[in-house]
Structure 1
Amino acid sequence: MHYLTRIWAHLALLIPLVAKSFAVAVAHQNVLRLNPTLLYNISTNFAGNSSDSFLQTTGLDNSTAMMRPFIAYDDEFEHLLAKDATLEHLYTNPDNKPVADEMGIWVWDHNEVWMSSSSVDNISYTSILDLSDQSVKPLLVSSNGIPILNPNGGGYFNGKVYIAGDGNATIPPAIYEIDPVTLDARIIIDSYFGLRLNGPNDLTWGCRDNNSWLFFTDDPLSYYYSKGDFPTIPDATWRWDPKEETLLPVIDRTDILIPNGIRVNKDSTKLYVTDTPSTQVPGSGFEQTSTSPEQYYGSDTSAIYEFDLGPDGFPYNKRLFGITQRGISDGLHLDDDGRIWTAEADGIVIRSSSGKVLGMINALAIQRPKVADSSQLPLQNFALAGDRIIILAYTQIYQVRLSHAIVKSMT
């Protein structure tokens, strides 16, 4: 072997070792490429804080590069992005109202994304983003007069929009079905043996053969809207079978204490449900501590759980799929290739079907809204919309363009 050839061969072996502890330079100017080993092996002098982004960990390169919109730990995430991908601003509410907070329903055949606002004076509402002209219109009441009260999560299935609503002191929490053309609505679920639901949080549809089931999570969030009406049934994850006309609890609070986000995969063989971590909420009524007038709400985990879904529509074989670094895995969506996307405090985190963290849309790169509540996170939820990600950022809406459609249609 030629002398210079041998030198280059040795250098080729050294380069991966040298690069292991540093961000890897990539051609995409908006992507920061980090070695995946940094997720579990940084240095002897590292220091992280659960109140800060992982990117702010002492021991990482905390330079301005950390403000890049995309963080890649794997080629797969980088290849999902369009070559010129960035955080494109679509909309800012002119009245500084929090229109874009929860839900993120892609109504694909109408080129719309439905979303819910953050609660203002104990009221949240539905807004509809028209992707063709980037306009947003509020949906305060359905065209046939049914108020879609305090909407939270939802989904699109068989030409109808389904929304989980938290209700208030007068109107019980409910699951609504809305026609996206006429905007007519009807309530399909509002009780269990005559008792109010606690607060439907999110929902998803599963289909096997000629059967379909609606799964939804139910937690005590409606307490904050009902002004004193305590939950009367245990928190649970529910399955509604419209053919059999049956509503059944299928995951109880001993498995997931405060169920939140929920989704099935494309072939309805897996069900994913997120839990809610502990928070101290003044006056919530949940397990008052002995040293504080504040109350205890939620479990001690911000976990994502995976279940197998049987051909009869019942979940089994629970396993821990992932734990968020910070905040709640509130927004939860799956693409057609089985990747799991979650809105967390650090940003929108993308995991493979086996749980590997592939990358993240960085929350630090999203402008924090100028509102009175300075603790409001810069993003809360999002929608997978074909070859785009629509990011709900409180008073603002952004989009990220992808290299190809990752969902052909969403249920």
Structure 2
Amino acid sequence: MASTSNASNLCNLSSTLTYQLDSFSGNVSQSFLQTTGTNSALAQCENTTLISYDPEFGSLFASNASLNLIYTDPNGDTIADEMGIWLWDHHQVWMASASENNVSHVSILDLTNDTVKPLPVPNGVEVLNPNGGGYHNGKVYIAGDGNYTVPPCIYEVDPVTYQTEVVVNNYFGLRFGGPNDLTWASREGKSWLFFTDDPLSEVYNDGRKPQVPDATWRWDPLEQTVLPVIDRTDVLVPNGIRVNKNSTKLYVTDTPDPLVYGASVVQTSSGQSIYASTSISAIYSFDLDDSGFPSNRRLFGIAERGIADGLHVDDAGRVWTGEQDGIVVRSPSGKVLGMVNALAIQGAEVVDCGQSPLQNFALAGDLLVVLAFDKIYTVQLSSQIVSGMT
């Protein structure tokens, strides 16, 4: 059964439909809502912004929550593709563009007036080919994929002066493959930066072949060490990464590699490769100890379709991920509570088109900021669900 509320912007579906359908035919290149069969409840929700499988999901959004378009790039440039860093004390969201001609850039969204500007470069150190990032102790940290000349690295940016410096760019003289995303964890007065690394520089930025294997790394600025802490046997191709509010849990997403048996790839009519298999497209959780080391890997969730890219954790421990079906919200135990529907944002051809499914967003206090390539949307939340960078 399906019912709508929130001025018809929220569709309530029984959670049993996610695992029990009378008759159905699903397709890995389509949304769950496009599953065909005798049950019509899914089709009734196709154009609805918010899809709820649990009452908790609906309670996260304002009673009149809707998809609000706040910015469209005048040149049609895909400025809003990666990152999604909320600077709560500056009322900003920092984001990265899609890679075009092997180059991507950082842009800054001002939430006070919904304007966007490129990241200034006052001291000549440019953030080259940015990907993920985070905000910690008044500084922005960005994973940069570099190119053939400039090694992949981690940048530190002052959001007031925009002074930029490289803080990590090698492991004993060996290049990283391409830092993908990062997060800060803090316990008992100590802080560590965790970042994922895979061959993004070579794949997207004409970079060199990586000299270290894919891994999740930890930089300790106090001890002045960079250590590999999660290897390929635990997370094959690490992508998104975040900690929970009290830094007791570390979440890492795994991106399917088409060369790995079982990780099927669907070629759309436009020639785009879509990672369709759920065999590897997973979200893992790890326990973090007082010394900042992860252990006790648990399979937390599998992307409904596509990959789980953008990753955020709200203050209540709910895990938000950008997936092919939309922005999916899971409880701390892993139950899928609902999603912000990609069909409502990108249309029915969310996969089979020249544009990739949306994959990144920001949780900005009481606002969800959806990064949709050349467009930026917001959805009003019912309360402030995050108090700092997630």
TM-score using structure 1 length:
0.87
1:229 CA displacement = 1.9
Alignment partner of 1:90 out of 48, 66, 70: 70
Give the structure 1 partner of residue 55 of structure 2.
Answer: 75
1:280 CA displacement = 7.1
- Corresponding position: 1:197 with 2:176: yes
Give the structure 1 partner of residue 29 of structure 2.
Answer: 51
Q: What root-mean-square deviation, in Å, do the aligned CA atoms of Structure 1 and Structure 2 show? A: 2.2
SS at match of 1:38: helix
1:63 CA displacement = 3.6
Superimposed CA distance per residue, residues 306-346 of structure 1 (whole angstroms, 9 cap, x where no aligned partner):
00000000000001000001111100000000000000000
Give the structure 1 partner of residue 269 of structure 2.
Answer: none
SS at match of 2:118: strand
SS at match of 1:78: helix
Give the structure 2 partner of residue 278 of structure 1.
Answer: 257
Give the Cα separation in 1 of the matches to 2:356 and 2:341. Answer: 12
Contact 2:103/2:205 (CA < 8 Å) preserved in 1? no
- Structure-to-structure mapping, 1:33-48, within 5 angstroms: 33-43=12-22, 45-48=23-26
Contact 2:179/2:197 (CA < 8 Å) preserved in 1? yes
Give the Cα separation in 1 of the matches to 2:208 and 2:386. Answer: 40
- Structure-to-structure mapping, 1:251-266, within 5 angstroms: 251-266=230-245
Q: Gapped runs of 5+ residues in structure 2?
A: 261-272
Contact 2:323/2:357 (CA < 8 Å) preserved in 1? no
Cα–Cα, structure 1 residues 308 and 249, in superposed 2: closer, same or farther, change >3 Å?
Answer: same
Cα–Cα, structure 1 residues 321 and 179, in superposed 2: closer, same or farther, change >3 Å?
Answer: same
Match of 2:11, as an amino acid?
L
Indicate the percent of aligned positions where both proteins have the same amino acid: 60
The structure with more radius of gyration: 1
Give the structure 1 partner of residue 270 of structure 2.
Answer: none
Give the Cα separation in 2 of the matches to 1:27 and 1:228. Answer: 48
1:361 CA displacement = 0.1
Contact 1:348/1:361 (CA < 8 Å) preserved in 2? yes
Cα–Cα, structure 1 residues 390 and 358, in superposed 2: closer, same or farther, change >3 Å?
Answer: same
Identify the structure with the greater helix proportion: 1
1:409 CA displacement = 1.6
Superimposed CA distance per residue, residues 133-189 of structure 1 (whole angstroms, 9 cap, x where no aligned partner):
1000012x5211101000000000100000000000110000000000000001000
SS at match of 2:219: strand
Contact 1:278/1:299 (CA < 8 Å) preserved in 2? no
Superimposed CA distance per residue, residues 266-324 of structure 1 (whole angstroms, 9 cap, x where no aligned partner):
0000000000013479xxxxxxxxxxxxx9x9995100000000000000000100000
Give the Cα separation in 2 of the matches to 1:402 and 1:27. Answer: 12
- Structure-to-structure mapping, 1:10-409, within 5 angstroms: 22-26=1-5, 28-43=7-22, 45-59=23-37, 60-61=39-40, 62-63=42-43, 65-139=45-119, 142-227=121-206, 229-279=208-258, 300-367=279-346, 374-409=353-388
Contact 2:229/2:294 (CA < 8 Å) preserved in 1? yes
Match of 1:187, as an amino acid?
V
Cα–Cα, structure 1 residues 25 and 395, in superposed 2: closer, same or farther, change >3 Å?
Answer: closer
SS at match of 1:338: coil
Cα–Cα, structure 1 residues 368 and 148, in superposed 2: closer, same or farther, change >3 Å?
Answer: farther
Give the Cα separation in 1 of the matches to 2:54 and 2:60. Answer: 11
Superimposed CA distance per residue, residues 189-214 of structure 1 (whole angstroms, 9 cap, x where no aligned partner):
00001011110000000000110000
Cα–Cα, structure 1 residues 129 and 25, in superposed 2: closer, same or farther, change >3 Å?
Answer: closer
SS at match of 1:37: helix
1:26 CA displacement = 3.8
Give the Cα separation in 1 of the matches to 2:156 and 2:55. Answer: 40
| Alignment: residue pair count | 373
Give the structure 2 partner of residue 13 of structure 1.
Answer: none
Give the Cα separation in 1 of the matches to 2:121 and 2:89. Answer: 20
Contact 1:163/1:176 (CA < 8 Å) preserved in 2? yes
1:245 CA displacement = 0.4
